[in-house]
Amino acid sequence: MNPPQADPGPASKSRLFCPDCGREGSFPEEWVVRTDGDRARTECPACGAVVDDRPRDRSAVEPGNGE
């Protein structure tokens, strides 16, 4: 578990890594974020892989049947 490099400073920005091509970049500036309905999908601009796919930000969790 060796980090590639030491932190340059306080981690105020989120960093994302593409599992497909290994691209690294700060989020969301260096990534392609698409919103589709209630979902927000983050894609790698280099290879097009979906790096993150999640429901769009909601402060409230829908009540009802949990799993």
Name the minimum Å distance from CB 9 to Zn ion.
26
Q: Between 18 and 58, whose beta carbon lies closer to Zn ion?
A: 18
Name the minimum Å distance from CB 45 to Zn ion.
8
Q: What's CA 35's distance to the chain center, in Å?
A: 13
Give me the residues that bind Zn ion (CB under 5 A), please. 18, 20-21, 23, 44, 46-47, 49
Read off φ and ψ for residue 24, nearest 5 degrees. Answer: -125, 140
Name the minimum Å distance from CB 57 to Zn ion.
24
Q: Between 51 and 67, whose beta carbon lies closer to Zn ion?
A: 51
* Rg of the Cα atoms in the chain: 15
Q: Going by DSSP bridges, is the β-strand pair 39-43/32-36 parallel, antiparallel, or unpaired?
A: antiparallel
